Copies of this chain bind each other. A is one copy, B any other.
Amino acid sequence: MTDWRMYLVTSGNDRRTVEVAAAAARGGAGVVQVRHKQGGDRELLALVTAVAAAVERANPDTRVVVDDATDVAWAARRAGAAVHGVHLGQDDLPVEAARQILGPDALVGLTTGTLELVQRAQQQAGVVDYLGAGPFRPTPTKDSGRAPLGVEGYRPLVQASRIPVLAIGDVTPADVEALAGTGIAGVCMVRHVMQAADPEALVRGVLAGYERGRLAAQT
């Protein structure tokens, strides 16, 4: 079972990238997505391999997925790295192709962010393991062209989805409790973890906030 509650998306390609990924895994991040758009696939493969090794040592339950590059995920898995799948955007390869390349055991995630995209993804419920949905707020990292969802924007998406929905797009630790109350499966974070003085503690705080929000919503 993948723990979706806290999902780290990495940035950069240096020692800190690997160290923060490992610290997040130690703190309990259930998924680490390796995202690095600059450079070629060979560089990405080396980064993915390094992150996977560090994350596996830090927390063998943490899953590692690769942004966009299904072939890189495949090559890393084939080489024995603890890499579990791929995350695809709306402009990337169709999820069916990634599923066929990586096989039934891999994780395949898809970025969405509107009710229409979430509803369309339901037809791929056997193919896609989780949906990223965003942006939560406008974000400097990535401009999808979609309107920001805010907390309340997640309720209709969660209700429309049999697939776990994760919030993404400048989510801060302070947002997690309220977001968890909407029924989302977890939150994705990039900058707030990558730039944290203590990423492990930050992740623990996020998980605690998620649990508070979930419990509050149940009572």
Q: Which of B42, B97, B100 contacts A92 (CB 8 A)?
A: B42
Give the chain B neighbours of A173 by CB distance below 8 A: none
Indicate if the CB atoms of B45 and A93 lie closer than 8 Å: yes
> Mostly helix, strand, loop or mixed at chain A's interface?
helix
Indicate if the CB atoms of B71 and A40 lie closer than 8 Å: no
Give the chain B neighbours of A116 by CB distance below 8 A: none
Task: Across the interface, name the chain B residue whose C-beta is closest to A68.
Answer: B41
Task: Report if A22 contacts B (CB, 8 A).
Answer: no
Task: Report if A140 contacts B (CB, 8 A).
Answer: no
Indicate if the CB atoms of B74 and A39 lie closer than 8 Å: no
Task: Report if A3 contacts B (CB, 8 A).
Answer: no
Task: Report if A126 contacts B (CB, 8 A).
Answer: no
Give the chain B neighbours of A75 by CB distance below 8 A: 93-94, 97, 100-101
Indicate if the CB atoms of B93 and A41 lie closer than 8 Å: yes
Not counting A42-B94, A72-B93, a sample of 5 additional A-B residue pairs whose C-beta atoms are within 8 angstroms of each other reads A42-B92, A45-B93, A71-B97, A74-B97, A75-B93
